[in-house]
Amino acid sequence: MKSAGKFVAPIAGVALVLGLAAGPSLAAPSGPPIRIGSTLSLTGPLSGTAIIHKLAGEIYVDQLNRKNGLLGRPVEWIVKDDQSKPDLARTLYEQLITVDKVDLVIGPYATPNIVSAMGVAQRYNKMLVHHTMGIPSLAKYEMQVPAWSVGPNPETTVPNTVLDALATLPRPPKTVAIVTSKFPSVYLMSKGAQDVIKKRGLTEVLFLEWEFGNRDYGAIANRVKDAKPDFVWVGAIGLEGNQLLDAMKKIDYVPPLHFYMYPAPGPLAKLPEAKNALAASIFEQHPPFTNNPVAAEFVKLYNDRAAKAGLADNAVETQAAASYSTWQVLEAAVTATKGLDDKAMSDWLKKNQVDTIQGRLRFDRNNNYGDDLMRVKQVQNGQWVTVWPKDWAAPGARILTQ
Amino acid sequence: MNLPSATLLAQSVLSGVFIGALYGLLGLGLSLCWGMLRQINLAHFALAFLGAYLTYQLSTVGGLDPLATLLVVVPAFFAFGVLMQWLFARFAITPFNSLLVTFGITVIIESAIQAVWTADPRMLDSAYGHVKFKVGALYVPLPELLTLVLASLLAIAAWAALRYTDLGKAMRAAAEDAPTAAAFGVNERRLGFLLSGASAAFAGIAGLCLALSFTLAPSQIYSWVGVVFAAVMIGGLGNPLGPLVAGIVIGVSESLTMALTAPAWAPLVSFSLLIVVLLVRAEKI
């Protein structure tokens, strides 16, 4: 499932998409714009990551309009600020569909907001392609299309991928501390990790959970240090991982091996204490990912755009790649069906696969999820590099330990 | 279940004292404004974060020592506080309306921070952040120690000023009975400017402490509101020492809760304490 070879195998549906994608004329788009609506958490606790999705979406729309748009028409992206609030996301999607009368909708960032948007999309029979929904079991709507390649059971497959990677070390971990935020998608993974650890015969020496928005990580750091684990699984989203590492630094504690579920990637990589930190990834800006010319072009544009936007880290990684992939999926569906019929696009996606910069996506398993393409990355010299599986590792990269 | 070690407990108490000192420092200006000017100033939190971002900017781009940034931040914030008080007086804002107005100011400041520094998290990498002292098995980080020292000094100084100086006595008199104080020559308007300016300056100093110890993001403004309000109310409105003492009690309670039980229970501590205080000694608030 995780070999690079599988993703380069020819598949008819992909060939069709590639053929259509390669074929458009370079005439400027004309006619009334196709309006695509979405929200993003431009303010609020999720804004640090949502800004990445905004940049990726803007780049994709610019690229579309520099070609011949969608179906020869220009594309207009209407993005509203859901303030990191699922209830507001619901209202705004309702507004996008009924007041702004957008032609298509695309997902917001983060699981709770996606679930809200999905309810509205279902009410109006709109297809919803979304970026990062981490709880597949909640995605019941038949016309929702996940571009987040975690597979239908990430709570099992992702921890197994991480522990498979660690099992290759000369001294694999035997004891594990799990500390986790109660943010829904992160919590699911951490509870899953707890089960996987037990099944693999490892010893859980600590399990702690905190409310999303916790400020003081001192006591949590102290308890991890006290438990003396070989490996710390940190179920953290956004800045929580940084805050925990800050607290660990203050008591001179360096975890021997440490994994972070959904970190704010740039800030974590820049933190000296995050040396050798592991995380899950679908894309990093190094070969073999950047061997794909579309990915290489996106990396170049994103690096430039992120620098201009003043982001602390300009690299393309998981979040930006997930966002870009979502737009690729939407474009593929529109192009292949030659229209904006939500049902037709959704049906087409369930029967076909789409090549994206994170790999080939399929939508025909439970709740339209496909394969788990998650890889493992590590902070090495202040940069994220993929270290597992070997097929996707950066050239010469291997897992480093403290 | 393994029992926590003595070191874990002691370090947790210490962490609680440090975080509690920050609650107290954040609550100092809020308490004075609320208790003496009858303004519930939600913008105090936004000001503190603006101060933190200015500290970050002046240190990382301007090359100033973080402590030296106070030379810029404190006067600027004092002036902002005076301006706010002038507007409040000019439009006769009632206590309840002050909550709404300052919430609006908070949103504006948050948006301004996001426009200038983006939503991307920022972290001040100062020399202070790398210094820590070891006392036995316990670690004392310098930024947290600075916060404790600053919070204590400012709280004691404010308390002493209110208690022993003519200016302080005039402020207390004006807060208690403005018409009578005015009959004795107390200029309530000017004292209001001074108090509001000082409160905003305290927010700027709290910003320095935030910048030294925490990763900054605009949205984090709101994560401090609940617990600091609890510290202010438990400590007593208009009492400079109250928020510090209450903050430390809350901080230590939270830390011990996290050390002994699930950290997810910690947020309940401050509000549980607040409910108890409201039930037992509501008249003191």
| Dist CA A62 CA A66 (whole Å) | 6
Interstrand relation of A383-388 and A375-380 (parallel, antiparallel or unpaired): antiparallel
Which residues in chain B touch residue A215, judged by CB atoms under 8 angstroms apart?
A: 19, 214, 223-224, 227
How many domains in chain B? Answer: 1
* Residue A209 to residue B263, Cβ atoms within 8 A: yes
Chain B segment 233-262 residues within 8 A of A by beta carbon are 251, 254-259, 262
* Residue B254 to residue A47, Cβ atoms within 8 A: no
- HSE (side-chain half, CA atoms, 13 Å) at A273: 19
Shortest alpha-carbon distance between residue B96 and chain A (Å): 25
Fold entry, domain A4-152+288-373: Rossmann fold (3.40.50)
For residue B92, tell me if it sits in a domain: yes
| Dist CA A298 CA A60 (whole Å) | 8
Q: What is the pLDDT of residue B232?
A: 95
Chain B segment 91-110 residues within 8 A of A by beta carbon are 110
Q: Is A251 on the interface with B (CB under 8 A)?
A: yes
Nearest to B264 among A43, A210, A238 (CB): A210
Mean pLDDT across B194-212: 97
Shortest alpha-carbon distance between residue B198 and chain A (Å): 27
The Cα-based distances of B29 to B42, B159, B198 in angstroms read: 11, 12, 7
Q: Is A226 on the interface with B (CB under 8 A)?
A: yes
Q: What is the pLDDT of residue B269?
A: 84
Mean pLDDT across B101-114: 93
pLDDT over threshold 50, residue B225: yes
Q: Is B266 on the interface with A (CB under 8 A)?
A: yes
Chain A segment 192-211 residues within 8 A of B by beta carbon are 208-211
Domain that holds residue B160: 28-223
Which residues in chain B touch residue A214, judged by CB atoms under 8 angstroms apart?
A: 263, 266-267
Interface size A-B, in CB pairs within 8 Å, comes to 137
Tell me, what DSSP letter sits at residue A273?
G
For residue B261, tell me if it sits in a domain: no
For residue B171, tell me if it sits in a domain: yes
The predicted-structure confidence for A346-383, as pLDDT tens digits, reads as follows 999 999 999 999 999 999 999 999 999 999 999 999 99
* Residue A209 to residue B214, Cβ atoms within 8 A: no
Determine the residue of chain B that is closest to A271 in CA distance. B123
Which residues, 6+ apart, have CB-to-CB distance to B124 below 8 Å?
Answer: B55, B56, B59, B60, B66, B211, B212, B216
Shortest alpha-carbon distance between residue A150 and chain B (Å): 25
Q: What is the pLDDT of residue B3?
A: 74
Which residues in chain A touch residue B11, judged by CB atoms under 8 angstroms apart?
A: 218, 222, 251
* Residue B141, strand partner residues: B132
Nearest to B121 among A220, A227, A267 (CB): A267
| Dist CA A296 CA A284 (whole Å) | 11
pLDDT over threshold 50, residue B176: yes
Chain A interface, best mutation among B18, B19, B120, by max A CB count within 10 A: B120
Which residues in chain A touch residue B220, judged by CB atoms under 8 angstroms apart?
A: 45
Cα of A393 vs its chain's centroid, Å: 18
> Do A208 and B263 contact (CB within 8 A), yes or no?
yes
Phi and psi at residue A354, to the nearest 5°: -125, 130
Fold entry, domain A154-285+376-392: Rossmann fold (3.40.50)
Mean pLDDT across B7-27: 94
Place of tokens 């072009």: A297
Which residues in chain B touch residue A311, judged by CB atoms under 8 angstroms apart?
A: 118, 120
Q: What is the pLDDT of residue A7?
A: 41
Give the dihedral sign, CA B88/B89/B90/B95: positive
Q: Is A123 on the interface with B (CB under 8 A)?
A: no
Q: Is B188 on the interface with A (CB under 8 A)?
A: no
Nearest to B259 among A45, A223, A311 (CB): A223
Which residues in chain A touch residue B215, judged by CB atoms under 8 angstroms apart?
A: 239, 242-243, 246, 267
The predicted-structure confidence for B228-260, as pLDDT tens digits, reads as follows 999 999 999 999 999 999 999 999 999 999 888
Classify the phi-psi angles of A195: left when phi > 0, otherwise alpha if psi is within -120 to 50, otherwise beta. Answer: alpha
Prediction ipTM score: 0.76
Q: What is the pLDDT of residue A14?
A: 45
Shortest alpha-carbon distance between residue A54 and chain B (Å): 12
Chain A segment 329-388 residues within 8 A of B by beta carbon are none
pLDDT over threshold 50, residue B282: yes
For residue B99, tell me if it sits in a domain: yes
Shortest alpha-carbon distance between residue B160 and chain A (Å): 31
Which residues in chain A touch residue B258, judged by CB atoms under 8 angstroms apart?
A: 210, 216, 218-220, 223
Q: Is B145 on the interface with A (CB under 8 A)?
A: no
Q: What is the pLDDT of residue A368?
A: 97
**Tens of pLDDT, residue by residue, chain A (402 residues):** 344 444 434 444 444 444 444 444 457 889 999 999 999 998 777 887 899 999 999 999 999 999 989 999 999 999 999 988 899 999 999 999 999 999 999 999 999 999 999 999 999 999 999 999 999 999 999 999 999 999 999 999 999 999 999 999 999 999 999 999 998 999 999 999 999 999 999 999 999 999 887 888 888 999 999 999 999 999 998 888 988 998 999 899 999 999 999 888 888 888 889 999 999 999 999 999 999 999 999 999 999 999 999 887 899 999 999 999 999 999 999 999 999 999 999 999 999 999 999 999 999 999 999 999 999 999 999 999 999 999 999 999 999 997
Q: What is the pLDDT of residue A12?
A: 43
Q: Is B49 on the interface with A (CB under 8 A)?
A: no
3-state secondary structure of B177: coil
For residue B158, tell me if it sits in a domain: yes
Q: Is B111 on the interface with A (CB under 8 A)?
A: yes
Which residues in chain A touch residue B139, judged by CB atoms under 8 angstroms apart?
A: 250-252
Angle at B154 between CA B149 and CA B155, to 5 degrees: 100
Domain residues of chain A, as ranges? 4-152+288-373, 154-285+376-392
Could you check whether A4-152+288-373 and A154-285+376-392 share the same CATH topology?
yes
Chain A interface, best mutation among B60, B219, B220, B227, by max A CB count within 10 A: B219
Nearest to A48 among B121, B144, B262 (CB): B121
| Dist CA B134 CA A76 (whole Å) | 58
> Do A331 and A300 contact (CB within 8 A), yes or no?
no
Which residues, 6+ apart, have CB-to-CB distance to B193 below 8 Å?
Answer: B81, B82, B85, B86
